[in-house]
Each structure stands twice: as C-alpha cells, then as structure tokens.
C-alpha cells in the first residue's frame, strides 16, 4: 500500500469481539509488538507543556503526490499516499487500526466510528453499532452513511475497488439492513460463518462511512438525490450507485470534463470534499506538485482535536532534494522527513536497531527507522502478450520464477543499498516486526542468491544460456526438459521493468538485480518512471486466452510491494487470489485459492501455515528485500509523533510543540 492496499488475517468462528484492543493471534500465541521486537515502540514523546497552534510540515516520499480524494479507489489509485496519508485525515474508516501510543497494527475502538462488531448465528450475522459522530456539515454518521458505502461496494466493488477478491467482500454479503436510515445500527448477513477476527481485520476494515452530500449526480443536486444510499438494495439502487460513482469519480478519473475526484485543481474548493468526519479539512491543494495544506475540522467528534493550526504535506521530486531540505533546517524546515539510505552511516547492529544519524541532521533531528506491516515484491504479468506473445507464458513457468528469485541477493542489497536498515521478504508474511504468523519454513530463504543455480534451472529446461546476453528457447514443448507451454523456439528471455523514480535506493536495487539476471542471460531493460505511472500501469489483465493490447506490460516495480492495510491479517486474498483487484500480475492457482479460503473461514493455525508455505514456494511475485519503510527524521522541536505507526496511519492531530 506501497500500493496499500494493503497493503491481508484470524479468530475463533462465532466468538464476539468485545475488547477495545486485541492482538492478532494464532492459537495461544499472539502478535504484539513490544520494545523488544519493534524499533517504533518507544514511549510516546511528550513536551513538558503543550503549546497550542503552530504549523508542521511533513515531507512526502520522493516522487510521490496524492492524486485521489474519494475513499473508493481502483488499483490505479490504491496507495498509502492517497489513503492513509491523505484521505484518512479528512474521512475516517469505520474501524481504525493502529495504536496511537505504539506501533502495533491492531484494532483501536476508541478511534473507530463504531463499537467493535458483535457476531451471532455462528458468525453469519454481524451487528454494527455506530457512535453517532458527525460530519463537518452536521450530518450524523448513521446507518445511511454505512449503507451508502455497502450499496456502492455491491454495485461497483468487483470492478472498481482494489480490495476486491472474488467470493469474498462483497460477494459473501447476502443482505444488509437497518431499522431506518437515521438509525445507529446496521446488521449484515453473510453467506457462511467466517473467522471473526479475519472479518473485522480484512472485511469490515474496508468500510468508510460516506456523507449523504456525496450521494448526488451533480454539484447542485440535493444530498441523497443520487439514490445510492437507500435502505434496501434493489436493481434501481444499483443503477443509481453506478451513476453516483461515475459522477464522484469522473468515471475513474477518465472524464473529459472532470470536476470531482479526477480534478485535482478543485480538491480544496469543491464544497463536497469539505464534508468529512476526520480531524482535518483540506484548505489548499497545489495540483501541479501535490502540496496539501490541512487545517483542523472544528466539528470533529473524535477524542483528539488537533493541537496544530496547520499541517502541510510537502512534495519532493527526489530524495536528494528532500535531504537538502532537511539539512537546511531553520524555522521553515520540515518537522518530519525521510533521509535517503545513501546519506546515513552503515548500521551494523541487529534488525530493528538504530545506528548513527547523518551528521548534517543530528543536531536538529532524531533518526527513527520505521518498518511497516507489509512485504516487498514486484509482479510479473502472467497474462502479458509482450515479448511477441511469449512473456506471460514464460512467467507462468515455476522454474523461470525460481531462477529469477535466485538472482535477488537480499542480504547484499540490505547491507549495500539499505545501509543495514532492511529485512528480507521470503513469502506472504512479514519477517519483521516479529509475529506469530510466520512459519518455520518462511523464516528462511527457499531461494538463496545463486547465479549458478539460476543458470542450471534455465539450461535444464531447454534454454541456451548467453551470459551477458539473452537466452533463447532451444527446446520448445511441455516435457520436463522443455521450455514450457506457449513458448516458441527462439523466444528470448528479454523483458522490460519500469520502476519508481526519485529514490536512489530503488534505482540501486534494480541495477543490482538486473546485473545479476544478466549473468544468467535474462535481459531486463529497466526504466525509471513516476510512482503513479508505474502503479497505474500494473493492473490485472484479462485471461491469457484473450489477446488485449493493454496487456503488453511485463514487469512493474513500484518499489514498495504491499502494506497489509486495510487487509490487516496477512492471508493474501486481495493480492494473490485469482481475480483479486490488487492481483496485479493476474496470478492464478487453484491450490492457493483453496488455502486462502481456509484461512478466511477457520482459525486453525495449520491452514495458515499451509497457505504461506505453498505461496512462498510458488513465487507469485518476485520477493524483494524490505528496506525500513522510511528512515524517518523527526524534529527535536516537535512532540507526539513517535512511535511511528506500522500501518502508516498519519495522525498529526497528536503532534504539538
């Protein structure tokens, strides 16, 4: 998320969730970061006395800008920079995850708009009780606000919600109801019993209550006139939701005359975007560079009103310019920014430790390495018609994916590129922060770095090796020593990999990997492009049997993989299940689908272990080393920022001088 999304999951079926805070658990063990396991779990920093007012400037990561304001996003816009770092300031999700005073990615009832859900009928019926918070225009966050989201999800989710996974939300939702539109209770009826913790962490977590003001098809329409937020979902309501979604999103940003989510220039002036239930409202937005200025929402109903009078998100084109801004300091300097790994001294300490800060920054800033609840990878397009139609067929061969993975020197990259601030990715579950989900197998690398092993795999499957050049298929066919189905004689191992520009660490990682692959005869042409361009192109393709010109992309490396948010349990349905909205590479495996389904419906640890071990071996993506999400630099003059949340949920309402 990161594409986010996202970012992914456990509990006892039929057990009501009643506590304000609980841990992600498997059996008797639990995931609960502590000062012993997480570098971000230090005591919340507080000043001797809180000073009201002041401005804080927060640096966006290099070459990243918000470009989507509507909290219903397709994969092209499903990033942490649009959701947790931008939208969540104005529009809060129904359920909040991530503790303010720790880095734990756990449920926080205090900051949620509804009480913890209550389950009955063996887990098939879910009761949601809203707290009665208000939007900035005075409308109560009521049943209509939730039904508006659910109706739109049912109508548009399968094609326009990046968190969609076939057979799950909203396919598994049979019906939903409320006593009235103004009621503070909503009841959901599921098609089967699901693990209750998975339901909260990976399904209910996706809901964002939306104001009636957005249920329109024109700027002059009366709130609710669009007809999507109705009490009963019918065909007529579905048709209305399509029209409302098309208006609110400018047809997913494609309208010729945009004036809603596709029109960045009106983000701060469109009165509809002023209607929010979060602690902040957008007062200015620079559509040319993405700088966003927020001021407190005086109508915010939550427990923490902002201390600051202004919060500004500052964009940078490169990590070099961001570091220069930090080093310049002064009264107009950044209160939080990111130091590039190349400017930080090498850290020889264990994972999670903090070494020396850059001398240019040490007097004004504290270095706080942050590790997110996620994994790093980049996808190959299994349905690509690139490489004269052979690319997808090559990617579908497990031996090729194994050879590609053996060209990734994760340990070397972490030390040489990330300066010791990184962790490996071996499969779908994060290795760090420490957690109870990761299996003994996934704690180790099944495909250690080995150029010779990669060459052997390719040569034993019909490829003529040209180290430093391009291998070609010499033995087409489907036998055990052939290239594989759909790969013609003479097909080259030559592909294109766009990657996110602006960060030297990403460039250095790509260079190291393409160099290693070249020694195997895998010729990768890399190309630096803006993050939004890379993620926008890495969308799922139709079936491999359907030739579509849009399926020419081969690899896409946005440099961040996936954060498990709002799919907080790492069961992978949103990114690895067949047909999932964020399954960028269109990975398709029946065994994987079955194992994911078991993790969704049962709390048995054995099912989760089977899932992660299988997917680790199958390589649905190219596992990448996970650098510290950011080497965060926090001004010594400001307080309330640490610990940095592992879900990247930005909460500047707690910041103060």
Report pLDDT digits (tens) over 59-88: 988 888 899 999 998 888 888 889 989 999
Phi, then psi, of 374 in degrees rounded to 5:
-170, -175
Max avg pLDDT among 325-339, 462-476, 601-615: 462-476
Residue whose tokens read 């509804």? 114
Tell me the Ramachandran region of residue 368: left when phi exceeds 0, alpha when psi lies from -120 to 50, beta otherwise.
Answer: beta
H or E element: which one contains 594?
Answer: helix 590-601
Question: For the chain, first and last CA: distance in Å?
Answer: 30
CA-CA distance, 408 to 339, in Å (whole number)? Answer: 25
CA-CA distance, 300 to 77, in Å (whole number)? Answer: 26
Token readout for 247 is 């208006």
Q: 144-180, pLDDT tens digit by residue?
A: 999 999 999 999 999 999 888 888 889 999 999 999 9
Residue partners of 187: CB distance under 8 A and separation at least 6:
125, 126, 127, 128, 176, 177, 178
Percent of the chain with pLDDT over 90: 70
Average pLDDT on 220-244 reads 97
Please state which of the four CATH numbers 3.10.20.30, 3.30.230.10, 3.10.105.10, 2.30.30.90 is assigned to the domain occupying 375-627: 3.10.105.10
- Considering only 17-26, 381-390, 547-556, which range has the smallest mean pLDDT? 17-26
Average pLDDT on 549-575 reads 88
pLDDT of amino acid 330: 64
Q: Which runs of consecutive H residues, i.e. helices, occur in 385-530? A: 391-395, 398-405, 410-416, 451-459, 504-520
Q: Supply the DSSP symbol for 84.
A: I
CA-CA distance, 429 to 351, in Å (whole number)? Answer: 17
Q: Supply the DSSP symbol for 128.
A: E
- Considering only 27-31, 134-138, 647-651, which range has the smallest mean pLDDT? 27-31
pLDDT of amino acid 296: 98
pLDDT of amino acid 563: 85
Residue partners of 591: CB distance under 8 A and separation at least 6:
614
The mean predicted confidence, pLDDT, of the chain is 88
- Radius of gyration of the chain, Cα coordinates, nearest whole angstrom: 24
Q: Which runs of consecutive H residues, i.e. helices, occur in 6-128? A: 88-90
Q: 185-214, pLDDT tens digit by residue?
A: 999 999 999 988 899 999 999 999 999 999
Q: 480-512, pLDDT tens digit by residue?
A: 999 999 999 999 999 999 999 988 889 999 999
pLDDT of amino acid 152: 97
Average pLDDT on 630-650 reads 87
Q: pLDDT class for 549, splitting at 50, 70, 90?
A: low
Q: pLDDT class for 15, splitting at 50, 70, 90?
A: very low
Q: Between β-strands 622-623 and 377-378, what pairing exists: parallel, antiparallel or unpaired?
A: antiparallel
Q: 309-347, pLDDT tens digit by residue?
A: 999 999 998 889 999 999 997 666 899 998 988 899 999
Give the start-to-end residue ranges of the domains of the chain: 375-627
């Amino acid at each position: 998320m990161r594409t986010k999304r996202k970012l992914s999951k456990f509990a006892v079926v039929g057990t009501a969730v009643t506590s304000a805070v609980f841990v992600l658990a498997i059996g008797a063990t639990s995931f609960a970061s502590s000062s012993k396991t997480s570098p971000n779990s230090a005591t919340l920093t507080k000043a001797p006395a809180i000073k009201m007012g002041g401005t804080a400037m927060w640096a966006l990561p290099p070459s990243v800008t918000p470009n989507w304001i509507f909290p219903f996003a397709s994969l092209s816009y499903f990033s942490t920079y649009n959701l947790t770092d931008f939208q969540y300031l104005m529009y809060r999700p129904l359920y909040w995850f991530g503790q303010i005073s720790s880095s734990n990615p756990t449920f926080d009832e205090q900051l949620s708009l509804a009480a913890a859900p209550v389950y009955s009928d063996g887990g098939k019926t879910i009761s949601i009780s809203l707290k009665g918070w208000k939007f900035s225009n005075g409308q109560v966050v009521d049943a209509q606000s939730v039904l508006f989201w659910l109706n739109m999800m049912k109508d548009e989710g399968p094609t326009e919600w990046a968190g969609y996974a076939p057979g799950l939300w909203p396919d598994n939702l049979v019906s939903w109801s409320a006593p009235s539109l103004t009621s503070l209770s909503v009841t959901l009826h599921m098609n089967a019993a699901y693990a209750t913790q998975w339901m909260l962490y990976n399904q209910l977590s996706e809901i964002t209550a939306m104001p009636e003001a957005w249920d329109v098809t024109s700027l002059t329409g009366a709130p609710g006139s669009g007809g999507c937020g109705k009490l009963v979902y019918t065909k007529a309501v579905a048709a209305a939701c399509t029209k409302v979604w098309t208006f609110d999103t400018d047809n997913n940003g494609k309208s010729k005359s945009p004036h809603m989510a596709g029109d960045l220039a009106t983000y701060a002036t469109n009165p509809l975007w002023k209607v929010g239930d979060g602690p902040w409202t957008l007062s200015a937005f620079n559509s040319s560079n993405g700088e966003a200025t927020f001021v407190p929402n005086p109508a915010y109903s939550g427990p923490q009103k902002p201390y600051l009078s202004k919060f500004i998100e500052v964009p940078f084109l490169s990590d070099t310019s961001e570091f220069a801004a930090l080093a310049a300091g002064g009264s107009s300097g950044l209160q939080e920014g990111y130091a590039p790994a190349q400017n930080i001294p090498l850290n020889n300490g264990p994972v999670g430790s903090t070494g020396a800060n850059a001398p240019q920054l040490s007097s004004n800033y504290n270095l706080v390495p942050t590790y997110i609840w996620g994994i790093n990878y980049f996808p190959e397009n299994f349905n690509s018609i690139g490489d004269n139609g052979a690319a997808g067929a090559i990617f579908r061969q497990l031996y090729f994916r194994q050879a590609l993975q053996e060209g990734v020197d994760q340990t070397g990259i972490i030390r040489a590129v990330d300066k010791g601030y990184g962790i490996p990715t071996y499969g779908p579950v994060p290795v760090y922060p420490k957690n109870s989900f990761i299996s003994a197998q996934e704690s180790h690398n099944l495909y250690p770095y080995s150029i010779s092993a990669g060459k052997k795999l390719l040569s034993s499957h019909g490829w003529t090796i040209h180290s430093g050049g391009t291998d070609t298929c010499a033995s087409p066919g489907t036998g055990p020593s052939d290239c594989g189905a759909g790969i013609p004689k003479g097909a080259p191992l030559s592909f294109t990999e766009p990657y996110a520009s602006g960060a030297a660490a990403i460039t250095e990682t790509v260079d190291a990997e393409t160099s290693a692959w070249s020694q195997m005869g895998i010729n990768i042409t890399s190309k630096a492009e803006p993050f939004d361009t890379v993620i926008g192109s890495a969308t799922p393709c139709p079936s491999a049997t359907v030739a579509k010109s849009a399926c020419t992309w081969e690899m896409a490396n946005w440099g961040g993989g996936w954060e498990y948010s709002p799919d907080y349990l790492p069961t992978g349905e949103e990114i690895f299940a067949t047909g999932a909205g964020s399954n960028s590479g269109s990975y398709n495996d029946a065994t994987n689908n079955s194992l994911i389904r078991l993790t969704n419906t049962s709390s048995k640890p054995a099912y989760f272990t089977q899932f992660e071990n299988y997917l680790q071996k199958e390589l649905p993506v190219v596992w990448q080393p996970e650098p510290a999400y950011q080497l965060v630099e926090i001004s010594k003059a400001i307080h309330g920022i640490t610990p940095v949340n592992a879900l990247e949920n930005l909460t500047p309402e707690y910041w103060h001088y």
